[in-house]
Structure 1
Amino acid sequence: MSSPIPSSPEQNVQHKVVVSTPYYVPAYLGGGPIQTLKALINAAPSEFKTRVVCTNHDLGKTAPLTDNPNRWIEVGPAQVQYVEGGIRSRIKALKETNDADLIYLNSLFNPRYSLLPMLLKRVGFWKKGALLIAPRGELDPGALALKTRKKKAFLTAFKLLRFHKSALWHASTSVEAAQIKKQFGDVTVLVRENETSLPQQAFSRPPRKAGPPRLLFVSRLDEKKGLHILLQSLKSIAAPLDLKIVGAFENSDYESRCRRHIEQLDDNISIEFSGPLERDNVLQSMQSADLLVFPTAGENFGHVIAEALSQSCPVMCSANTPWTNHLTDGGGFVVQQNTADAWRQSISEFVLLGSNSWVEASQSSGETYNIWRNEDKGTHVFTLAETSLKQN
């Protein structure tokens, strides 16, 4: 049986928020959305009391994150319930938050942690709570191009039920806001860049060790993130090159596809699969890499890009992220056409620059990060939501 929500000082609490999300820390295999959500909660003003309902395991794993599931546990400033036991346990956990003013969904398409709360809201679960949905790049054209049939069916039903009309939407950029409005028309979209817990200043690197260029790929290993494009691009590159791949494959078909590309590479290309790494180890890998390579089909934010720049690691990525201007201003390189041929040309050009230029690119990426990190990010999205609700 679930425990009651622990008491906490209420002097400053004016608003209660429940966050429904598939994964939360200490989970890390779900990538950037987990770290973004942690930073969002940590940065919330003191008048917001936040509770999180999530799964008691990491992406693709069965090992529990806590030995105390289905109970409220303090994790940073939030109360978190790591759920086991199926739909009844999820409903029970959500029912204990029925006094929430704001229901924040950290995904659009997730059936258990997004669709279920929407349905519960429709039947009166939260009498006064408003939905705030963060699609996390799921409405990007590149993302919608994958598993198209299922997503079209979901969006059709979603619109027929008119869930979109009664919700607020959290977009990380104006581009994502436009994508939301393209799908759902005249809806209320709050634009606020994602929070981050990264340092205020970029890591200052030690002198570079001699050797061939060291490339790094960090992400979930699925089609959207573009590892197959990267591996195809390495064919016919004659210079020695090291590539470290950090992440876990999400299905065996895609893994087989990528390994076939690796088998076709010449011996001058060294490939290392490290598997998934915890965040501190990811940052350490970035500290010694010459270039993060990321041919993603689309990102609403791209937390891994911010992480790389924070470690003074230059980034080469597709034009399908909000980082294009920062990278072209000195943080790295943008590959306009997200094809193997275009990536082959861009990587070849980077290799030909030589070690002195690689070091200069590293210094420039750190400077770009410092400028970005210290920009005024504006009002927290929870506050924006409460203000919008008062106005309407």
Structure 2
Amino acid sequence: MTTQPTPTTTTGDRITVLIPTDFYVPAFLGGGPIQTLKALIEESPPQYDTWVVCANHDLGESAPLVEQPNEWLPVDRANVRYVQGGLRSLLGAFRAAADVDVIYLNSLFSPRYSLLPLILRSLGRWRGADVLIAPRGELYPGALAQKPRKKRVFLRVFRALGLHIRTMWHASTEDEARQIRSLFGEQTRVLVRENETSLPRKARTRAPRSAGPLRAVFASRLHPKKGLHILLAALAEVTEPVQLQVVGAFADGEYEEHCRSLARDLPAHVSVDFTGAAARDVVLERMHDADLMTFPTTGENFGHVIAEALSESCPVMCSDHTPWSAALSSGGGGVVSPNTPEAWAAAIDEFSAAGADAWEAAAVRAGESYCTWRNEPKGRHIFELVRAKESKSSV
């Protein structure tokens, strides 16, 4: 009989981190937060041992990810327990995680993988562990406007139970830190550290662009906050030919019908291909083949998909609701403001009319912008900041 490993508290210089999260690789339908978490683990200092507890299925799917659920399995630098079998199995996973040093929550609005661990800790489980919550942009106004009643109730319960006390927060930007403090008070402890990425140090170059219509791509989870409906409404007004490839799974049937209805009414010189969800390597390849990545998001705390596009030397046209505005304006692509169909139609027409030579030059600038960003010093890893109880934005 094989003895399964069990996470234990600090031994010598080893530090144990428990990460409950709804989805983890090989899941990919949950989008950027999965890749961000994977990079967070891969880029952590060598003395940190990471234990992940997640569901044994992908977002909106029922097929199991692994054939050995409810056991600790090595996945790259982490040990992962893919939970299957309901609440009892989940509680069993948390019982199997002995005393740990850090609990890192990859979301705020997850009843099973954020709220439940916080309640267990308030009842005495993992006493003494540092708790860090990464809301991943969930507290931006655009995100809170989606299903607002449910989120207001969640936040009311969260505060009433005092779960925000004795916790720290991981913000990827100073702006996100302000959003967190506006909800939970100015004395809230917030550590500001840009999200990790495992993308390459150098952007991938591309072959010369031949003539033809503009090839655009939209790659994200197809949710109202990501703004696909804004893009489709804009394409109804463009005068230049555009071929758009939409990569991702719809969040719900109502939004899917709305977007497909907009696509059906587009003029003949605009084509839209809904390709569905795709694995990360496929998404990267489609970005590499595109002249432009379009992203009218209503708010991102980081925007991993933007970094991915730039790593493929794909210029990004984006709303001004991300941390990437400066990098895009200085060469990585462009920023559209206000985030309206009219403004997007004008920006796309201008880019499309410039032609193949201009698109090729834009791709070179996008790759250069990516290399500059990717190789900038990022500072200490967030796990180290938690243990040191320090950050440039700590109160």
Q: TM-score range by the shorter chain?
A: over 0.9
Instruction: Say whether the 8 Å CA contact 2:107–2:136 is kept in structure 1.
Output: yes
**Structure 2: 5+ residue stretches without partners:** none
Identity %: 53
2:236 aligned partner? 235
Q: Which amino acid aligns with 1:313?
A: C
Change (3 A) 1:165 1:110: same
2: distance between equivalents of 1:330 and 1:348?
18
Q: How many residues align?
A: 390
**How far is the alpha carbon of 1:13 from its aligned partner?**
4.5
Change (3 A) 1:268 1:163: same
1:65 aligned partner? 65
**How far is the alpha carbon of 1:119 from its aligned partner?**
0.7
Change (3 A) 1:12 1:39: farther
Please give the TM-score of this superposition, normalised by the length of structure 1: 0.96
1: distance between equivalents of 2:140 and 2:98?
32
2:300 aligned partner? 299
Of 161-170 and 194-203, the range deviating more from structure 2: 161-170
1:362 aligned partner? 363
Q: Which amino acid aligns with 1:294?
A: F
1: distance between equivalents of 2:288 and 2:44?
30
Of 159-168 and 136-145, the range deviating more from structure 2: 159-168
- Could you list the per-position Cα deviations for residues 257-297 of structure 1 after superposition, in whole angstroms to 9, with x for gaps in the alignment? 01110111111111111111111111111111000000101
Q: Which amino acid aligns with 1:101?
A: D
Aligned with 1:165: secondary structure?
Answer: coil
2: distance between equivalents of 1:7 and 1:142?
38
2: distance between equivalents of 1:258 and 1:3?
51
Instruction: Say whether the 8 Å CA contact 2:103–2:132 is kept in structure 1.
Output: yes
1:258 aligned partner? 259
Instruction: Say whether the 8 Å CA contact 1:56–1:65 is kept in structure 2.
Output: yes
2:121 aligned partner? 121
**How far is the alpha carbon of 1:209 from its aligned partner?**
2.9
1:75 aligned partner? 75
2:136 aligned partner? 136
Aligned with 1:377: secondary structure?
Answer: coil
- Could you list the per-position Cα deviations for residues 87-108 of structure 1 after superposition, in whole angstroms to 9, with x for gaps in the alignment? 1111110111131111110000
2:319 aligned partner? 318
- Could you list the per-position Cα deviations for residues 73-121 of structure 1 after superposition, in whole angstroms to 9, with x for gaps in the alignment? 0001111000001111111101111311111100000111111101111
**How far is the alpha carbon of 1:354 from its aligned partner?**
1.4
**Structure 1: 5+ residue stretches without partners:** none
Please give the TM-score of this superposition, normalised by the length of structure 2: 0.96
2: distance between equivalents of 1:33 and 1:256?
26
Aligned with 1:337: secondary structure?
Answer: coil
**How far is the alpha carbon of 1:352 from its aligned partner?**
1.5
1:340 aligned partner? 341
2: distance between equivalents of 1:3 and 1:218?
42
Q: Which amino acid aligns with 1:72?
A: W
Aligned with 2:389: secondary structure?
Answer: helix
Instruction: Say whether the 8 Å CA contact 1:3–1:71 is kept in structure 2.
Output: no
**How far is the alpha carbon of 1:48 from its aligned partner?**
1.1
Change (3 A) 1:7 1:158: closer
1: distance between equivalents of 2:147 and 2:255?
14
**How far is the alpha carbon of 1:159 from its aligned partner?**
1.3
Q: Which amino acid aligns with 2:287?
A: M
**How far is the alpha carbon of 1:3 from its aligned partner?**
6.3
Q: Which amino acid aligns with 1:177?
A: A
**How far is the alpha carbon of 1:6 from its aligned partner?**
5.8
Instruction: Say whether the 8 Å CA contact 2:44–2:383 is kept in structure 1.
Output: yes
Q: Which amino acid aligns with 1:76?
A: D
Instruction: Say whether the 8 Å CA contact 2:36–2:196 is kept in structure 1.
Output: yes
Aligned with 1:190: secondary structure?
Answer: strand
Superposition RMSD in Å: 1.8
2: distance between equivalents of 1:212 and 1:12?
61
- Superposed, 1:150-189 pairs within 5 Å as 150-185=150-185, 186-189=187-190
